[in-house]
Amino acid sequence: MGQARLRYGLTALIVTLFIVACETTPKPTPSQSSSGNYKIGTPYKVAGGWYYPKEQPNYSETGLASWYGPNFHGKPTANGEIFDQNALTAAHKTLPMPVKVRVTNLENGRQIDVRVNDRGPFVKGRIIDLSSKAADLLGIKGKGTAMVKVEYLGRLDNESFYSAKPVTPAGQKQVASAPVAAVSSDDLSPPPGAAEAAPRTVVRAQPSAPDSDGPVRQVPVSGNPHMYVQAAAFLYRDNAVKLQGKLVAEGHDRSAVRIDTASVDGTQFYRVRIGPLQTVASADTTLDQVLGAGHSGARIVID
């Protein structure tokens, strides 16, 4: 009888302690469960290509932007956040997460800052994948892609970031590319008897301004941006000339395969490019051809 009482007493004590422990253990709040962690990430392979995430504080690149939305809305991003297609976010292949980048549409001058919290895009020739809202504000959604410039602004660890008029529930939410530089050229006098054409003036229509209280800035964009496939960049001109000849031998039009010079941090590079290319489709086709010939560093650039 005494032993039975003792066992009953011990059992009651264990049950009481268990209930108290359950009641005092804090439950995760929505913000804790939905906010991601700052991460660089390890090298990874997608569709046969290797990508090497790393800190890139001087990152600045031109290229083509794409966008994504409904099929991924509400799903986890690569750093553990919840993707909200109505927030100003983006996916990048190698930048740390989350970081803030500035995206400028070089076709219409619209510019916004977005939060990089996902990996992608994994379509060749694209440098950033924007959320549905970000693409809409930049004027990209209707076209699907646009020529853009992407610039690194800074880390966002443990920092809140704005969303453009969110409509979702509150709980939801390689090698660095060389910076674009001015291309040098030599002026040639017209042949005897020829008249020099007057400089062409390009008049660009500016889009209507978005909501005045929105995050969009309108910045000047000069001239018409052009697309090129850059096969490689060299320190020595001889190497650039050899690649130029190889690309012509592989079937590219000699008049389109050019060598441009650019100064990056005081160092001159010789860039071998094909173009200018008039459409995204022609740029994609040319890039596939160059990559298929074994020039693995080729990419689409905008000047």
Q: Residue 120 and residue 41: Cα distance in Å, rounded?
A: 13
H or E element that contains 110: strand 110-118
Residues with Cβ within 8 Å of 166's Cβ and at least 6 positions away in sequence, in order, are: 84, 86, 87
Q: How confident is the model at residue 13 (pLDDT cuts 50, 70, 90)?
A: very low
Tens of pLDDT, residue by residue over 176-197, are 444 444 444 444 444 444 344 3
Q: Say which DSSP state 76 is in.
A: B
- Domains annotated for the chain, with CATH where assigned, are 44-155 (2.40.40.10), 226-302 (3.30.70.1070)
pLDDT at 170 over 80: no
pLDDT in tens, 129-145: 999 999 999 999 999 99
How far is the first Cα of the chain from the last one, in angstroms, to the nearest whole number?
Answer: 92
Tell me the mean pLDDT in the region 144-160.
86
Predicted TM-score of the model (pTM): 0.70
